[in-house]
Structure 1
Amino acid sequence: MKNRETNIMRPLLLILLAALTLGQAAMPTPSESTSLPTADNQPVPVTPADKASSLTVTPGGANVAVIKIQGMIYGFTLESLKRRVDRAMEGNASMIVLELDTPGGEVMSALEIAKYIKGDITIPTVAWINKSAYSAGILIASSCDRIVMHPASTTGDCAPIVPGTELAPTERAKALSPILEEFRDNARANGKDYALYHAMCVLGVEIYLIENKDTGKQMLVNQIDKALMVDGNAPESNVVSKLAGKDKPAGETNIDNVASVSRDVATDDELGKWKLIKQFHDGKTLLTLNQARAVEVGLAETDTIRDQADLKKYLNANIIASIDQSWSEDMAGWLTHPAIRAVLVLALLLGAYTEFQTPGLGLPGAVAVTALVLLIGAPFLVGLAEIWHILLILVGIGLLFCELFLTPSFGLLGIGGIVCIFTGLTLSIIPTVGNGPLPLPAPEMYGRLQVAGMWMILSFIFGVGGMMAITKYFGNIPGLNRLILSSPTQEDELAIHYKTQNTGTNMNLTVGLLGTAATALRPSGQAKLDGQLIDVVTSGSLIEQGTEIKIIEIHGNRIVVDEA
C-alpha cells in the first residue's frame, strides 16, 4: 500500500517542479522589465514634460485647502498666508494649493514666502497659476512641490527692476544673487531645469533642449552647457565676451556680466554625449511662458485647471475648500488701492471745506474725519504704513491749522502742510525696506509709487475744483442748499435787530452796513459793526485784521461779510 502511494506522488511532484521551472524561465528579469525600446531598438526619450508628469501621482482622498494670493506681493501677503495656513492645518488639511494671480511685488517678501513654504508647511503644496504669476509670483510658485495652470495663463519675467532707472552692476548683482540662489534650490528640490528660471531673470540666457544619445534623457540647458554637452568643446572666448557686453556689435543688446551665462550642469564625462533637439529661447527677452509652453518644458504638470472642480478631479481630492482672508483683511486691502484712496482724499478735502463754511459740527465734518481715519488706519493695519508716515501726515495737519488760525496770510506753513499730508498719504501704501527710523520704498515699488502719486495729484486737482463748485453752484441743489449759504433775499436785506450778550443793547444791522475786521476772518472771526464787536463769517475768503468790510448776507443771527 505504501509503495503504491509513493509511486503515485512521485510523478505529481515531478510535474509540479517542471511547471515552476518553466514559470521562472518565462518571467523577465528586472532589467528586461524596465527597458522601453522603440521600434528601432533606441531608448524612449524622457522629456522635461515626462519628468513633470511623473510627479502627478496623488494619494486619493486628500483634504485640499485653496489659499488665494492675488495682487501685489508685500509683507502683509506673508502674514495673511501664515494665518490662513494655520487655519487650514487646524481643519486637518492634507494638501495646500496656492492659487496665484499676481503681477509680482517686493523681492524680499517673495523670498520670505518661498522659504516659509519650504520650511514651515509640512504637507504637500501645489501652485495653481490662475491666471498670472509674474516676477515674485513665479518665485513663490517654484517653491511649491508642484505647479498646475489655468488654460489661459502666463508666468515668468522675474528680473528685478526699478522703473525709470537702470541698475548699476553692483546693485543688480545684489538684487539677483538671492533670487537666483532661491530658484536654483527650488529647481533642485522639485526636479526642474534651472536654466528656465535663469532665463526668466537674466537677459541673454538661451535655452536649448538636448537629449542624451545613450539613455534618451532630455533636459533644458543654457548655451554654454549646450556647447559643451553637444559639441564637446568649450565656447570661444568671444562668445563669453559677447555675453559680458564686450565687443558688442552695433544694434545688439548689451548684457551685463552680472549673473551672465556660465557652465552649470555639464560634467567632464558628458562632453559630446548629447544631441541637440531644438532651441527653445533665444535670450533676447526675459523668458515668459504661456500655459502650453510651460507644460511643454516641464515647468507645469497640466494646463487644464479652470476652477476648483477641475482641481478636485485632477488631485483626486476628497474635499476641497477655500481659505479666504477675513473681511477686515479684504476691506483693508481694498482701502489701500490708489484709486480708492484718491476718492477718500477727495472726500476729506470737500468735507473739511464744507464744514468750514457751515456753523457748528455737522455731516461734512464727520465725512472728513472718517476719510482721514481710513486713509491712515487701513495701510497701518496691513503693515504698509510706517510710523513716520503717520507722523508726517499729522505734522501736515498741524501746519495747516497754524496757517489758518495763527498767521495773517496763507504762505509757507500752508504749503508745507499740504506737501507733508500728500507725501505721507502717498508713501503709506508703498512697501518699504530697511529697519532704520525712516524705512524708504523698496526699489521695485517705484512704479507703484508713481501710480500712487498720480492718483494723489488727481484727487487734489478735483478737490480744488469741487471746492470752487461748492462755493458757486451747490447752494442751488435741493438738499445740499442747507449746507451752503444762498444769495440774500429781499427779506434778508431788511433790518434785523441784533441783541448782543455782552452789552444788552439793540443794533440795527442791515445788508450793506460797513465795518472793520476786528480779527482775522478765517473764515470766521469778529468784526466791529455799529460800534459793537459781532461774530461774523466770510463767504469763504480770508480777510485780514483791520480790513474794511460790509455785510452781504444776514441769516438770523448769522452775519456774512466780505471786503468792502
Structure 2
Amino acid sequence: MSRAGKRSGRRSARIGAILALGLALAVLARGQSAAPSGGSPQTAAAPAVDVEGDWLITPDGRLRRPEVAKPALPKEVTRAFIIPIKQAITGATLDAIRRKIIPIKTRKAQIVIFDMDTPGGSGGAMAGIVRLIMQDLKDIYTVAYVNPDALSAGAIISVACDEIVMAPAARIGAAMPILIAPTGQIVELPEKVRGKFESADLAGARAMADRNGYDNDLIEGMITIDRVIWLIRRRGGQEPRELQIVDAADWYGRVADVPPGRQPVTQRAVPTDAQWEYVRTIAGPNKLVTLTANEAVAYGLATRVVDSMEQLRQAFNITAAPEALTDTWSERMVGFLTSPAVMVVLLFVGILALYLEIITPGFGVPGTIAIICFAILFGSRYLAGLAQVWEIALFVLGVGLLLVEIFVTPGFGVMGIAGILCCLAALLAIAMANPPDKLPLPDTELDWSLLTHGAMALVAGVTLAVVGAAILARYLPRVPVASRLVLAPPQAAAVPPATEDANILDIRPGQTGEVVQICRPVGKVRIGERLMDAIADGAFLNAGTRVVVLRNEGNRLVVEEKT
C-alpha cells in the first residue's frame, strides 16, 4: 500500500472511530479500584454515613448535601419500570432505550430504574441517552442502580439520574473520553484535541451535577486526569468538621497537614491558623475518580447500598412488581414494524388495496390486504405505546365517514372532508408518544423526531398510494383479466319509448334546466315547467346544478353541467 493510502487509511480509522468513553477504561478502573486515591494508604473505603437534614455525617466529618428539586414520589409506587444497560453502550443501546421510553411516558411511570452494568462505550450514544433522561424523563423519578459497574459512559448516564444506588461491590467513575479505532486499539488524542472533548464533557457534567445535587469537583475528576481531588475538613468556625471535596490546585498553601508529596514543593508556607486540614486524596495525579459503593455514599454521590433489586424495591416502597423492559425478539420486532420505512410500505399497500376493494365488486383479497396492513400499522404502535385507543377509534371513524360519502350520500362534501381529516389526524397522532389523557403535542427532542419522521412517512405513503391508484384507474380496465374485476360504469335505467305527444319531444339541444334529483348518472331535471328523465354525460350531477341539453334520445335527455 502506498504512503498516501496508509495515511488515508489512518485518517479514515480516526474519523470513523467511536469517540468512546470506552472499554479500555474498564481496565484502568480495575487498576484504580485497588487504590482509588492514587495509591495513598489514606484512601480506604469510607464507612457508612448517617443523614441529618442537609448533612451527611461520617467519622471524617459533615458533608453538606445541596438541596435540589426532583420529581415527587408517592408513598406507594405502583408504576415502576426497569431499563437494563448490561453491555457496552452503542448506537443500538440508544435506539433500544428510545423505544423503551415511549411506553414509559404513555403509561405515566412514577419511577424508572436503570440497571447498570457497563464498561462504557460510545460518547455519542451516551449523550443521546443523557438527553432522553433529562428531557423525556424530567417529570419521572430516575434511579441508577449500579450493579456492579457504571464506568466511563455508564458513570455519566448514572449522574444524569435523580439518584444513584450502589450494589455492595459496585464501582462508578473513570469517564475520560478516549478514541477507539475500528481495530479496537486506543488512539492517543493530542493534548489540544483531548482538551476540546473534555471541555464539552466537563460543561455537561457540571450541568448534571448542579441539577441532581452532586459535587462538581468529584464529577469533573471522573472525566479529566488534570484534576487532583482532595477531601478537606474545617478546623473550626460556625460549622466545625465541615467536609469539602475540592480541586487541590485551588487549595495549595491553604490546607494544613498535607502529607509530603501531596502538593508542589514550591508551595507557599501554610499559615499556622489555616482553617482547613487535609483528610485524604480521592484521586491523585494522572488518576481518575473511581469510587467504591461506600465511598460513593460517603462523598454524597450515592444515597444507599442495597444487595439486590428486591431491596431496592423495598427502599422506594414499590408495591407493584416493576416491569423490566428487556431486549426480547418481540420488542425488536415491534421496533421494526414501527419504523418510518415500514410505515410508508403499510400506508402505500393499505390505501391502494382499499381503493381496489372499492372499485371491484363484492369483498375480496384487496379488502383483506387493506385490513391486515392497517391492523399491523396500528397494532404495532399500540404495543409500542405510540397509539392510544381513541386515536385508533378516530381513524376508524374517518374510514367510516369516507365509505358513507362514497356509497350513501350524493357527491363529495362535508362527510368526505371530515373523514379525510380524521384519518390524517389519527395517523399523525400515532407518530408520537402521549398518555391517553393528553393530546399528542411535541415537547421534547424525541417527540419532534417522532413527529417529523412520522409526517414524512405519512406524506410518502399517501403520495405513493395516490400515484398508484391513478395508474390503476387508467390501465387496469385495459388488462384482459383484470378488467373483469372492475365495476362497469352504471347504465341508464330502461324507460319505455316516448309517445308522439310526450313533452320530451319538444326539448331541443342547447336548452337549459336544473337538476332536481341527482344524476348518478340517471336522474331528473327540470326544463322550464317540465320534469324530465335525464342522464349525465360524464361526472355525476348534484341536485341544483344548472345543466344544458346535449341531445334528445327520444325517451331521455343527455345533459351536462352548464359552464
Fold shared per TM-score above 0.5: no
TM-score (norm 1): 0.44
TM-score (norm 2): 0.44
